[in-house]
Amino acid sequence: MTKFEKYRHLLDARKLELDKRLVNIETELDEAPHPDFAENATQREDDEVLEQLGNEGLVELQKINAALKRIDDDSFGFCLRCDKPISEERLNVLPFATLCRTCAHQLENQ
């Protein structure tokens, strides 16, 4: 087992969770509109929220897939900006992190 296998497991588990959520969102969005005008307006507002959640889920899936690829090609755990190791503390919180804490902070403050 490599040093980063625990992150592969975390990423795979999160990916499964997101896949299920995205299927549920798609099912909700495919429902026929409610015939009552007021209910239909509320449903449309709910659909907008679901679409936003779905988009955020798709972005996270892209980040997860990129992190899994970095694990496979042995570049996982290194900052894409400065090439220094990303701390385990950061990876434990954000396993698909691409930047070390210092670089992420610098980018936030630009």
Cα–Cα distance measured from residue 84 to residue 98, given in angstroms and rounded to the nearest whole number:
11
Length of the chain measured in residues: 110
Report pLDDT for 39. 65
Interval 89-104: pLDDT, tens: 999 999 999 999 999 9
Q: Provide the residue ranges of all domains of the chain, joining segments of one domain with +.
A: 1-76, 77-110
pLDDT confidence tier of residue 43, bands split at 50, 70 and 90 = confident
**Using the 8-state DSSP alphabet, how is residue 74 labeled?**
T
